[in-house]
Structure formats: structure tokens, C-alpha cells
Amino acid sequence: MLKKNLAFAAVIVGAVALLSLPALTTAAKSKPVAKVADDGRAKCYECHDEVKALKEGSRHAKLSCRTCHDKMDEHMKDPEKNKPVTIIDQALCGKCHKSQYESFFNVNHDGGARKEKGVPTGRSPMQDKLLAPYGFTIEHNEPRGHAFMVIDQFVVDRFQGGRFQFKDGWKGIEKTGKTWDVLTDKGKDYKLKETAMAGNPTCIQCKSSDHVLNWKFMGDKDPKAKWDRTSSIVDVAKDTNNPVGCIHCHDPHGTQPRVVRDGLIQAIERDTKDNIFSKDGKTDLKVISFRDGFRK
């Protein structure tokens, strides 16, 4: 009899536990509404509500807007006339993410170049034949990381006919830092034989994050855009000082993964069911418009 009573009690306890499980799960998922920090951000949110949605409740919620934005007082006095300065240097992220920052600028001398598309077992065996006239099929084969993206693009002979060269010659090939601390401009009259002038402003947008606030969506002309698809390639290049930064793939306000390349965003918007990010005919990527459609 005692065994039966114990078994019955165990069943009752188990049933109660099972019934309460959804409630416990729901309670664990729900988070209390975070109180907005009293550091002036509430004033920023009056205009930038999309930033509030990303920032509050994220790992960067405790950071003040002034962490990444300078000249805020002037901006508050006259928002239209005085734009804040946005700090996009990787060194700022590196203050907290030290190991990631340090590894970003390291060269793995033991690593080889990525698997080539144009080998018999590659996804495009005829790649080298199709692009045979283009120097970058050879010059872009070096096993170098993101820190060299801008430098390596500019020194390729086909970019501007060899106009941009390493200041220290081949001795400076592993030097990292600001673009024009590493490279020098030989001038408009300098051109190597059998080279081309194939660089264009759009190329740079994938290699650097410097122009993310100065380049309108799809590179269209706009009074608020410093550069567009028709801008002088040399002028844009001379205004490019950093390789692709953390903000290219990580939203600085909410830390979520993001896509900033306009062509890719446009392709996803055009076909939300059949793209590289979709699963079972759906994509959870949300397109967010900033500055009245200036950027997405």
C-alpha cells in the first residue's frame, strides 16, 4: 500500500512539474524592460528611434553614445548644421575586444592562399581562362587577411596602373596602419607599361568601412553623400585610410550580425525566399533604413 501511495505521489509531482514547465520557460525568455540610462541618450533617441530598438537590451546598452560619437554638444545645439563625428577606427573596438583586434593585424605565415576557384576541382575550373587578361587573378592570391584589404587593392597594377606603391618598397609589404602611412602616390603621370586603370569607387566600398556614412545606398548621387559611383577614383582612394572594420559585419549599437553591402541587401529584398540566408523559403533578416533612406 505504501509503495502505491509513493508511486501515486510521484506521478502527481511529475505532472505538476510538466504543467509548470512552459511557464518556467516563458519566464526565462521574457526580460524586464530595461531602464534607459541617464547619460543623454534619451535626447538622441528622439530622432534615432531605430537605434534605440537595436541598442537597449543589448550588450552595448551600457555604452554611452559619446563612446563612438564626438562633438555631441555642438550637434545637440543645431542638429542640421553640426553633424556628430562617428569614430569607426578598429582601435576603439579593440579597447574591449583585445584578442580580436590583435589577431586582425597578425599575418599567418604558415597559412596558404584560399582554395582557388580555377582549379579542376574548384567551383569554376575555367576561372583563370575567363579572367586571363586581368592582373588581379594573380596579384590577389596572397594569403593575407582583412587588415591588408585596402592596401593590397590599391597596389595592384590594374587598379591605377601602378600609381600607388609601397613607401618602403617590398620591405613595407607587411606594414599595417593607415593606408597613406604605408603607401605613396607616384602622381597622375606615373603608369607602368601593360597595366590598366580599372579601379572604381564602388570597388572600395567592400574593402573599407570609411565611407559607410558618406556613400548613399547603391552609390547614388545625393547632396548628403560625399562620394558616389561617378566620383574620381583617386579622390575616393586618397580619402580611404582604413581597411574593413568591425562595423562592417557587427552592428555597433546592438552587436548583432549585419549586412551593409547595398548590392547584397538589394538582392535579399528582391527575393526573400530564395537567397543564401533563407531557410525553408524564409529569411529572418530585417532591412533597416537609416537617415531617411540614405543608408540601409
pLDDT tens for residues 209-266? 999 999 999 999 999 999 999 999 999 999 999 999 999 999 999 999 999 999 889 9
Q: What is the pLDDT of residue 3?
A: 45
Q: Give the chain's length.
A: 296
Quick one: cell of 265? 541587401
Does 25 have pLDDT greater than 80?
Answer: no
Quick one: cell of 4? 502505491
Q: Tell me the pLDDT tens digit for each residue of 37-93.
A: 788 899 999 999 989 999 999 999 999 999 999 999 999 999 989 999 999 888 999
Q: State the DSSP string of 176-208.
A: -SSHHHHEEE--TT---TT------HHHHHHH-
Which DSSP category does 91 fall into? H
Residue pair 212/295 in contact by the 8 Å Cβ criterion? yes
Which of 125 and 93 is assigned the larger pLDDT? 93
Q: What is the pLDDT of residue 119?
A: 75
Q: Measuring CA to CA, which residue among 224, 253, 295, 287 is closest to residue 44?
A: 253
Q: Tell me the pLDDT tens digit for each residue of 138-187.
A: 666 666 788 999 999 999 888 999 999 999 998 998 898 899 999 999 99
Q: What is the pLDDT of residue 288?
A: 87
